[in-house]
Amino acid sequence: MRKLVFISVPGLRRIDVERLPELRAMTSSGGMATLTSGFPAVTCPVQSNMTTGVRPDQHGIVANGLYLKNVDKVDLELRLESKLSGAKLFGNIVSSCNFDPEIKQPVWPKSENLPYIEMWTSPNSAVESPQIWDVLRGKQDNTYQRQFRIRRRKSINTGLPIFQSVRINRNSRVNKLKSAVWFALLSKFCLADYVCNFAPIHNPDGSESLWCYTRPYLFYGGLRDKLGHFPVQGYWGPLAGQSASEWIVDSAIIGANKFKPDYFYVYVPRLDYTPQKFGANASELSADLADLNKLFVKLRAGFTEALGCEPTWLIAGEYAVTDVSSVVYPNRILREMGLLSIEERNGQEYLLPSKSRCFALCDHQFSHIHFNDADPQLMQRVADKFRNESGIDEVLVGDERAKYNLTHRRSGEIILISEPDSWQAYYFWNDDSKVPEYARKVDIHRKPGYDPVELFFDRETMSVPLDANLIRGSHGAPARDNSQKTVVLASKPELLADKKQFDDIDMFNIVNQFFKGKV
């Protein structure tokens, strides 16, 4: 049986490969090519591009954070009808059984909360196209789509339709290809056979308990006993480093040894944060590359032993971080235009997205400007304002978003794209004495936008500084220069077929063709 391990490494570039001898050894008999990430070149969209083979206008992941607006009955029914021919159920469709009685997909988004911002916590239901592990589930069973009937009922709370899949024949699938997915974002409740992803338990008092979502559900308990809890402090924030990536690799090897899947997806974020903090070619990156090389040594030895043979390797850089020297504050500009709704509580200001005429959901080098007031003249006024703003390269309005396949309903009506040497901060206040409580904390879920300044958390003051100019590297803008492109490497030459250039969506087809036996 063929085995393929796909390793996704944010920040991996061609020039980095020279300092990764184990990676070169793993792929010495294969090949290497340039990889171009689609826009927006940030984690969730790029991972969705790679695992679905389609762009955001189809899979729906338009940014790391989503502003979820009201969806109506027609929209829900259309999503169900369009996806029944795919490999799973999506959106507000509730899957009460699916392939494993442990999987119970929550209703998403929660209608009673709409509209609201969701940062980093969306379940796999958010991805509206089949992912590679969904396709592999059906590779050896033509009756795949006939294993379920769909039961429709109305939600007691909202009156909107809810759909449930009910298994007809539990034993109809034989010899299916098995997949494991390790730390891919948006993988919670996905239908891969084996899953591990960080998912803390949110307690009623507002505190969090360390935990990972795993499939099988109790598998994390065994990982915790062997490795300790997942070190989230090493995953993001001022202590981000080797510990989290090493835990991911160690747990993946344990999973490979126990489950021996055919396809294994592993996310290794070791190179993600140093370039943002210090710059794309900072001297501090040398230590990160040495750490990453050790992880490749461990991955190669561990998977080879676990699977009984060396698997086929496919390693892809998600995006490249480039140097930045300036920052734009879209929400401050919108506030100056009188378009934000701000509430003051105990001397602190809070942005009210749903009550604002519009606001910007900022994410590295781009922003979605979402309008609650669908006034064409207002949109044009906002667009004109940003077209004259230093640091902004492109302003896309309405149908212009199709240039980058971003005409999905979750996209903002206007999209701002930074110049390559600039980025966009979420800050909406003008007085640092009135910043919201979360601004000085490492709080990735409550902030209405991505905040890399958390990397500079000050241990003396126990707070995050409010200086966005500290950031020296960013990503997300369209890749027009080689410095914005990454690399893909394979251990078998037929996987890349002597091509010199690939797009991120091509990764789906490479894996799919491998398991079809065509490469």
Give the residue carrying structure tokens 């796999």. 124
Task: For residue 171, name the pLDDT band (cuts at 50, 70, 90).
Answer: very low
Statement to judge: residues 495 and 374 lie in one domain: no
Statement to judge: residues 377 and 403 lie in one domain: yes
pLDDT of residue 173: 45
Task: For residue 442, name the pLDDT band (cuts at 50, 70, 90).
Answer: very high
Statement to judge: residues 145 and 29 lie in one domain: no
Which of 437, 453, 471 is the last residue before a domain boundary? 471
Statement to judge: residues 442 and 483 lie in one domain: no
Statement to judge: residues 381 and 433 lie in one domain: yes
Encode pLDDT of 10-29 as tens digits.
999 999 999 999 999 999 99
Statement to judge: residues 254 and 366 lie in one domain: no
> 98 lies in which domain range?
70-114+141-172
Distance, in Å, from the CA atom of 185 to the CA atom of 265, rounded to the nearest integer, reads 11
Statement to judge: residues 148 and 50 lie in one domain: no
Average pLDDT over every residue of 377-405: 97
pLDDT of residue 122: 86
User: If residue 179 lies in a helix (H) or strand (E), which one and from where to where?
Assistant: strand 179-182
Statement to judge: residues 58 and 145 lie in one domain: no
Encode pLDDT of 293-304 as tens digits.
999 999 999 999
Which of 131, 149, 172 is the last residue before a domain boundary? 172
pLDDT of residue 195: 97
pLDDT of residue 104: 59
Distance, in Å, from the CA atom of 320 to the CA atom of 485, rounded to the nearest integer, reads 6
**Which CATH number is 461's domain given?**
3.30.1360.110
The residue with greater pLDDT, 141 or 426, is: 426
| Own/partner long-range contacts of 82-89 (Cβ < 8 Å, ≥24 apart) | 83/128, 84/145, 84/150, 85/145, 86/129, 86/130, 86/134, 87/130, 87/131, 87/134, 87/135, 87/137, 87/138, 87/144, 87/191, 88/130, 88/134, 88/190, 88/191, 89/125, 89/163, 89/165
| The total number of structural domains that make up the chain | 3
The residue with greater pLDDT, 208 or 502, is: 502
pLDDT of residue 72: 37
Statement to judge: residues 163 and 270 lie in one domain: no
pLDDT of residue 517: 87
pLDDT of residue 28: 97
Statement to judge: residues 343 and 460 lie in one domain: yes
Statement to judge: residues 443 and 492 lie in one domain: no
Encode pLDDT of 335-386 as tens digits.
999 999 999 999 999 999 999 999 999 999 999 999 998 899 999 999 999 9
Distance, in Å, from the CA atom of 426 to the CA atom of 362, rounded to the nearest integer, reads 5
Token pair for 468: 């966005």
Encode pLDDT of 245-283 as tens digits.
999 999 999 999 999 999 999 999 999 999 999 999 999
Distance, in Å, from the CA atom of 482 to the CA atom of 485, rounded to the nearest integer, reads 5
Distance, in Å, from the CA atom of 382 to the CA atom of 414, rounded to the nearest integer, reads 9
Encode pLDDT of 324-333 as tens digits.
999 999 999 9
Statement to judge: residues 208 and 82 lie in one domain: no
Distance, in Å, from the CA atom of 460 to the CA atom of 91, rounded to the nearest integer, reads 44
Q: What pTM did the predictor assign?
A: 0.89
pLDDT of residue 410: 95
Encode pLDDT of 26-78 as tens digits.
999 999 999 999 999 999 999 999 999 999 999 999 999 999 986 533 344 44
pLDDT of residue 106: 67
pLDDT at 210 over 80: yes
Distance, in Å, from the CA atom of 10 to the CA atom of 298, rounded to the nearest integer, reads 19
Encode pLDDT of 444-467 as tens digits.
989 999 999 999 999 999 999 999
